Amino acid sequence: MSEVVTQVQSKTQVNQARTSTDILHEINEIKGVNAVVVVGRDGFVIESIGHMPNSNLDVLGAAIASAINGISEMGAELTVGDFTDLFVTYKEAMIMCFPVGDAICGIAGEDASALGMIRHKTHKLIPELELYL
């Protein structure tokens, strides 16, 4: 199915000025970002862009959903409301997550050095992304 037609310009793409794909591209262009995924709470990768050097984005999506479900349960247990933001660093990656409606936007980068810039630039884009899902 990967050989499916990609050359044909879709009417739907022509008609819409801006799409979730555009916003994902914009996030992925921020310095320090390697990949962006929008994933459902069940781990279904709704949309993704970019790459992770040591994994693939389906695995990233499933892992993010699993982690966020655990974190949401913790929030409910502690009666501290819904999850609003998650940031975690590893030796070879950093991952940020934000709720996007019922879904989750996960952003993966190499390290936390560009964290401030990523946070600043995604601040406006995440609410916009929600509008297009």
Contact residues: other proteins, CB under 8 A: 1, 4-13, 21, 40-47, 58, 62, 65-66, 69, 73, 101-103, 133
18 dihedral zone (left: phi>0; alpha: psi -120 to 50; beta): beta
- Beta carbon nearer to other proteins, 55 or 66: 66
**Amino acid letter, residue 54:** N
CB distance 68 to 102 below 8 Å: no
Separation between Cα atoms, residue 29 and residue 123, nearest integer Å: 15
- Beta carbon nearer to other proteins, 1 or 80: 1
Distance in Å, CB of 62 to other proteins, minimum: 4
Phi first, then psi, for residue 132 (nearest 5°) are: -95, 0
Distance in Å, CB of 37 to other proteins, minimum: 12
- Beta carbon nearer to other proteins, 10 or 54: 10
Distance in Å, CB of 30 to other proteins, minimum: 21
CB distance 108 to 94 below 8 Å: yes
